[in-house]
Chains A and B, each alone.
Chain A
Amino acid sequence: MMRHPFTHEAMATTFTIVIADQLRDYARQATSAAFRELDRLENELSLYVESSDIARANRMQWGETISIGDDALQCLLLAAEVSLITGRAFDAAYASDYGPDVPLDPVPFTLDPAAHTLTSRVPRLQLDLGAIGKGYALDQLERVLDEWSIASACLSAGGSSVLTTRAPLDGEGWRIGLGEEASYCTLDLTRWALSGSGLAVQGAHIADPRTGTIAGRANRTWALAPTAALSDALSTAFFVSSSAEIERVCLELPTVGAAWITNGASLETCGQLRTLVARGGRRET
């Protein structure tokens, strides 16, 4: 059966959903429902929507508590966990103003999951879910497709994060490329999310939250994880991390993987990506 691609503009990028093994009309209706969910999520998570949870959070005073929705809560819980695990190589509150008296904190806020509240622990909290929100959105779109019994789909956010579900009937997975030039290879992925970070699209735009300086890495990094929110966040963290730091995260999180281009232009991998590239990846010359 044909594969049906659909696109939608949101979160300052183009989201694409490709659906396999369904009639086109049904696939279109399902993706319309998914894209409506995407628009709703943008309103909840965008910095630029006045009444969004994140815009409201960024107007908080020190010690102030606000109610937040479940999507913002889930994103911030994961963001906080990734910040701790990566030693702030990923930090959604990177731009926060700590003032002269507050020590640096990997997570300068408190979340109450039962009450759905967020409390600022710095004079001026500045949250930005830009490096996790698109991945989180992909996870939620996949939930919508699952409700529609869409078994086989490949979802992407602007090309920087890809989420795959079951393989199409005529293939072993969704063919996703990583690496560059001589190191380029493809993987047939199912039920994995892969995110990439690099400088090719937006230039030198990734600052290391730990130093405040632009990351020294010049080549792309990739993160593989069961969810796109996690792969999205980790790919950003990996870009500002050393190879040793990336290896450590992969050891701590056995369900994730990483890949990066070395200065010698070869593709290094670790964790689940090492396994995948070794066994399932098709290197293309």
Chain B
Amino acid sequence: MSDVNSSPVSRRNFISTGAKLGAFLAAAPYVARGADGAAKADQLNVALIGCGEQGRILTNAALPIPGVRFKAVCDIWPYNLTRTERLLKKFGHEARPFEDYREMLSSVGDIDAVIIATPDFLHAEHTNAALRAGKHVYCEKLMSNTVEGARSMVVTARETKKLLQLGHQRRSNPRYQHARDRILNGDRLLGRVTNISGQWHRAVSDDYGYPANQAIVEAKLGKYGYANMHEFRNWRWFKRYAGGPMSDLGAHQIDMYNWMLGSNPSSCMASGGTDYYKTHEWFDNAIAIFEFPTKNGMVRASYQVLTTTSAGGGYHEYFMGDEGALKLSENPKYTKLYREARAPEWDQWVAKGIVASPLSGEGAPAAVKPWEKVGVKKLAGPSKSAGVDVRETAALSAWDIPVTLDKAIHQPHLENFVDAVRKGTPLSCPGESAFATAVTVLKINEAIAAQKTLRFKPEDFIA
């Protein structure tokens, strides 16, 4: 290798080298120095158990919340632990690292709340231990990979009188709240809802690997419940650790069925299999059908999850009524409202800010290029020579929800949890209602195995 072909500057230290760039930073006119890192009266001390991808998302979503301070982080994999420590240091948080959550809970006394982002089979163990240690808990969904595990979490929260929030974060999303409280229920723009469909389609993905120098020895993996490094990295595909794609992806959306309707299902039938992947135990293709008896009549709901294609419209929940339909997604580009021709005009709802005329995407006027004059395109009406033109069925008019989520998608749910701890604000997803969702979701896997329709009893949803 020729020296002249190689950069003389270390990339890692580039900003702090003697190069001109970076030398500006100390005195740069655009740099402010306001943070002092001092403890504040409303400080909420938190610990994180599980520093993987979801733990990283929750950490990033919690950091902007005023007063939240990370005091400890815990993960059995040093690779994840170090990355999280580094991230927190950049924000001025000195979090003590731990491998064992028991040691963390017993040795860091000033933790108010614990955020849990570990694999599903550990949720009950970690949640129950944190609650019994006197901490409030925010735990990722699905509550547990077993109904018994989920029930134990509700019971422990009840016994310890500590808060338990589950990570079904759509419940705190202002767009979803608007959809439920104003569109579906309050002003009933959809009329009588008869059907829901939902889906999450993901493209084929490789199994996760790990850096060669970051393998955990099997004795340590065994101590924490894992068979080997491959299963540790790919726990979502194995039945002893997780509930499969219906739990990983479907749980978020099926939670919306229950929450939006304010009802639990009475039956579930399902089909699914591991048709594609050779290395997965859990299904890669599954479909479920529920019956939801509601005060307004029966709602039939289907849900499908695929981990073999991203085609078919991504991920959304679609609520269909006799006067309109609502396609909801965390991704606004998949979100749309449709008015049935028989429904009253929606002008009044536009005036009241309940719905909005589309600005972009489906139903929006064609984009105007800079060199084009702004004008109104004339719609093609019936020709003058004919009384009635025969055409395709007219497309439904498409509308938007005039609510913008102005933060990371998990942040409002964490804020709700923090507000509940500080001010007693009701939790968006307390253990009791998350338990009903866990029962609903786990029944799908049971129905697939049984190959028949399974019935729910009302008491099934009560922990």
Contact = CB atoms under 8 A, between A and B. Distances in A.
Given A50-B405, A189-B5, A280-B4, A32 B30 contact: no
Contact of B32 (A36, A78, A112): A112
Interface stretch (B7-15, B113-121, B150-158): B7-15
Contacts of A258: none
A109 B5 CA distance: 37
A191 B2 contact: no
A275 B4 CA distance: 8
B30 A111 contact: yes
Contact size range, B: 35 or more
Contacts of A142: 11
Interface centre among B11, B24, B79, B212 (most CB of A within 10 A): B11
Q: Is the interface of B mostly helix, strand, loop or mixed?
A: loop
Contacts of B92: 114
Nearest to A165: B11
Contacts of A280: 2, 4-5
B16 to A, nearest CB: 12
Contact of A255 (B8, B28, B90, B91): B8
Given A30-B209, A77-B25, A117-B34, A188 B2 contact: yes
A190 B11 CA distance: 12
Nearest to A32: B206
Given A50-B404, A111-B32, A226-B14, A173 B7 contact: no
29 contacts: A26-B212, A33-B208, A51-B406, A56-B406, A67-B64, A81-B21, A81-B22, A81-B24, A85-B21, A110-B30, A110-B31, A111-B32, A112-B34, A114-B37, A114-B92, A116-B91, A139-B11, A147-B211, A187-B5, A190-B7, A192-B5, A226-B7, A230-B14, A230-B21, A254-B19, A255-B19, A276-B4, A276-B5, A280-B5
Interface of A: 25-26, 28-30, 32-33, 36, 50-51, 56, 59, 67, 69-70, 77-78, 80-82, 84-85, 107, 109-117, 119, 139, 142, 147-149, 166-167, 172-173, 187-192, 226-227, 230, 252-255, 275-276, 279-280
Given A112-B32, A112-B33, A190-B7, 8 more contacts: A26-B209, A30-B209, A32-B208, A70-B91, A114-B92, A192-B5, A226-B14, A230-B21
Interface of B: 1-2, 4-11, 14-15, 17, 19-22, 24-25, 28-35, 37, 53, 60, 63-64, 79, 87, 90-92, 205-214, 332, 404-409
